[in-house]
Amino acid sequence: MSAVLSDQGAFVAWRQARQDAVEAALSEWVSADAPAGLGDAMRYAVLDGGKRLRPLLVLAASEAVAGSAEAAMRAACAVELIHAYSLVHDDMPCMDNDVLRRGKPTVHVRYGEAQALLAGDALQALAFELLVPDDGSVGPAMAAQLCRQMARAAGANGMAGGQAVDLASVGHVLDQPALEAMHRKKTGALLQASVLMGAATGQADRDVLVHLARYGASLGLAFQVVDDVLDVTADSATLGKTAGKDAAADKPTFVSLLGLEAAQAYADSVIDEAHQALDHSGLPDAGILHALADWVGRRAY
């Protein structure tokens, strides 16, 4: 870990500054101009909420490879829009039927189901639009690469596919490899893509990319294990969403499979793997990426 980031205060300052910058960029790019209230629903779905973990991973990876700051901010906001749209659709009555998200009523509760459906659809389109500006701020080769990475991570063999497996697994017993395979698609693919899209905003050796891919995969798995632990140990007010809903929905989780204590220990060991991947990457300054891994491992909401 780099000297400056061994200081937890420096990481907190970095995180806060980047979260603020992402919030400002999202507020600019997710316009209220869209007709018939659609823009309002999109902004409600995106702004003023969340840890912005995916954008932070994009920005940290980009900074670690000295990438383009402008391309990185677009990629950071794009992955956050993909994440936000997936939450809007996931919360709908035909999916998880959830009424609370980030401490507020979910989009369909606030704006109706039809508007929520359209807002999610429009956010996905906007995510891709952000990656291909016509002002020359992202070169075409980089833009095409970012679109490719995001489309694969979001699509049928990434996030959407993982959600389909998740739906099909309700009430079934999954063993640990099957549970991990599901989460690798459902949440892991976009988290890993966030790291690799950040790296794609600069010039990184193939060897560095291999290690960053391992880092992203470990961090994604750890994120989900911690999520399952928090679903049991935290309350709804802290989480900003309904706690205990996985157990109520009879969904397989790392806690139901391993028990609470072993699940927490497993999360710690996977975070260690993320650190090791960075150590082997040869990146001269991976301090922020290390700190983000610890943040994911220790998060309380």
Min dist. Cβ of residue 94 to a copy of itself (A): 4
Kindly tell me which of 251 and 290 has the beta carbon lying closer to a copy of itself.
251
User: Can you tell me which residue has the tokens 């709804």?
Assistant: 236
Min dist. Cβ of residue 123 to a copy of itself (A): 8
Helix spans in 47-112 (H) = 53-64, 69-90, 107-111
Q: Is 33 in the site for a copy of itself (CB under 8 A)?
A: yes
Q: Is 98 in the site for a copy of itself (CB under 8 A)?
A: no
Closest-CA residue to 46 (of 120, 128, 138, 157): 120
Q: Are 294 and 9 in contact (CB under 8 A)?
A: no
Q: Is 115 in the site for a copy of itself (CB under 8 A)?
A: yes
Min dist. Cβ of residue 201 to a copy of itself (A): 15
Among 119-127, 222-230, 236-244, 255-263, the segment contacting a copy of itself (CB under 8 A):
119-127
Closest-CA residue to 74 (of 3, 38, 22): 22
Q: Is 144 in the site for a copy of itself (CB under 8 A)?
A: yes
Member of 2, 10, 37, 247 binding a copy of itself (CB under 8 A): 37
Member of 10, 34, 99, 210 binding a copy of itself (CB under 8 A): 34
Member of 51, 102, 110, 148 binding a copy of itself (CB under 8 A): 148
Member of 25, 110, 128, 285 binding a copy of itself (CB under 8 A): 128
Q: Is 38 in the site for a copy of itself (CB under 8 A)?
A: yes
DSSP string, 141-177: HHHHHHHHHHHHHHSTTTHHHHHHHHHHHTTS---HH
Residues 6 or more apart whose Cβ sits within 8 Å of residue 103: 49, 237, 240
Q: Are 198 and 57 in contact (CB under 8 A)?
A: yes
Member of 121, 272, 279, 285 binding a copy of itself (CB under 8 A): 121
**Gap between the Cα atoms of 276 and 270, Å rounded:** 10
Return the residues of window 162-201 that contact a copy of itself according to CB under 8 A.
162-165, 167-168, 185
Q: Is 103 in the site for a copy of itself (CB under 8 A)?
A: no
Q: Are 252 and 173 in contact (CB under 8 A)?
A: yes
**Gap between the Cα atoms of 188 and 182, Å rounded:** 9
Return the residues of window 57-96 that contact a copy of itself according to CB under 8 A.
85-86, 89, 92, 94-95
Q: Is 157 in the site for a copy of itself (CB under 8 A)?
A: yes
Helix spans in the chain (H) = 3-6, 8-29, 38-46, 53-64, 69-90, 107-111, 113-131, 140-154, 159-169, 176-183, 189-200, 206-233, 236-239, 245-248, 254-258, 260-281, 287-298
User: Which residue type, as a one-letter code, is found at position 51?
Assistant: K
Min dist. Cβ of residue 110 to a copy of itself (A): 14
Min dist. Cβ of residue 23 to a copy of itself (A): 19
Q: Is 160 in the site for a copy of itself (CB under 8 A)?
A: yes
Return the residues of window 223-282 that contact a copy of itself according to CB under 8 A.
none
Closest-CA residue to 275 (of 226, 235, 222, 234): 222
Contact residues for a copy of itself, defined by CB under 8 A:
31, 33-39, 42, 85-86, 89, 92, 94-95, 112-115, 117-118, 120-122, 124-126, 128-129, 131-132, 134, 140-141, 143-145, 147-148, 150-152, 154-158, 160-165, 167-168, 185
